[in-house]
Amino acid sequence: MSEHIISSKTYIAIWAALLILTVVTAWVATVDLGPFNTVVALCIATLKATLVALIFMHVKYTSEKLTRVVLISALFWLLILLMLSLTDYTTRMLT
């Protein structure tokens, strides 16, 4: 297994990007975008999670098979959580 050396400049750049995106998230929370506030916040959070996973967790340098298995597992788990949440939501609406 080969190691991938990432320069400290890359780590600092990603760290700065994460800080900037955190400030943007806090600023967007003060702006009234109607129903899109949640959508914008989730998009920024997804971008931040992608940066962390790719660089700090070295997913960018792993095998494609492993990445595919983890992605499919994560999506499957997300579907389970959404189905359970929607089931709870619909039963509360009926009563």
pLDDT in tens, 24-67: 999 999 999 988 888 899 899 989 998 998 888 877 777 788 88
Nearest Cα to Cα of residue 19 among 49, 46, 48, 54: 48
Provide the 8-state DSSP code for 88: H
For residues 14 and 51, the answer to whether their CB atoms sit within 8 Å is yes
Mean pLDDT across 2-12: 84
Across the chain, mean pLDDT equals 87
Q: Where are the domains of the chain?
A: 1-61, 63-95
**What pLDDT shows up at residue 92?**
81
CA 32 to each of CA 25, 28, 48, 92: distance values in angstroms, whole numbers, following the listed order: 13, 8, 22, 29
User: Following CA atoms 2, 53, 16, 8 in sequence, which dihedral angle do they give, to the nearest 10 degrees?
Assistant: -10
